Amino acid sequence: MATNRKQEDLIDRLHADGIRKRVATVIAGGRGGAKKSEKQARALLEQLEDAAAAIRSEVLRPKGKRSEAGKKAAATRKKNAAKRSAAAKKGAATRAKKKRAKA
């Protein structure tokens, strides 16, 4: 009787955590025997780990990607600032040359 109660508790806990009741029953060893339940439990754990990895990569975004993007943006801003500076210097030189030619 105690073993049956343990299985029921495990089924209830797994079901409360969001696992379908039929899957929880199989994992707890209620159907199909111990070998089948162990195999299915391992398969379920693998699926849950894959889902967790997908959530981490898509939703939580690793810090590396954001850091790389920030560095790229900073380099782009620096490059554009250098272009503006070069254009301003060239324009100033042209204006100074015209001013000297008039005088």
Based on the domain organization, do 77 and 52 belong to the same domain?
Answer: no
Classify residue 32 by its DSSP letter.
S
Based on the domain organization, do 56 and 77 belong to the same domain?
Answer: no
Any domain includes 67: no
Q: What pTM was computed for the model?
A: 0.44
Based on the domain organization, do 28 and 78 belong to the same domain?
Answer: no
Based on the domain organization, do 4 and 33 belong to the same domain?
Answer: yes
Based on the domain organization, do 3 and 48 belong to the same domain?
Answer: yes
Is the model more confident about 100 or about 34? 100
Any domain includes 55: yes
User: What domain count does the chain have?
Assistant: 2
Whether the per-residue pLDDT at 1 is higher than 60: the answer is: no
Based on the domain organization, do 53 and 96 belong to the same domain?
Answer: no
Give residue 49's domain range.
1-60
| CA distance linking residue 79 with residue 37, whole number of Å | 61
Q: Place 89 in a pLDDT band, splitting at 50, 70 and 90.
A: very high
| DSSP track, 61-72 | --HHHHHHHHHH
Round to the nearest angstrom and report the end-to-end CA distance of the chain.
110
Whether the per-residue pLDDT at 2 is higher than 60: the answer is: no
**pLDDT tens-digit series, residues 16-72:** 988 888 888 877 776 666 677 778 788 888 988 998 888 888 788 766 677 888 899
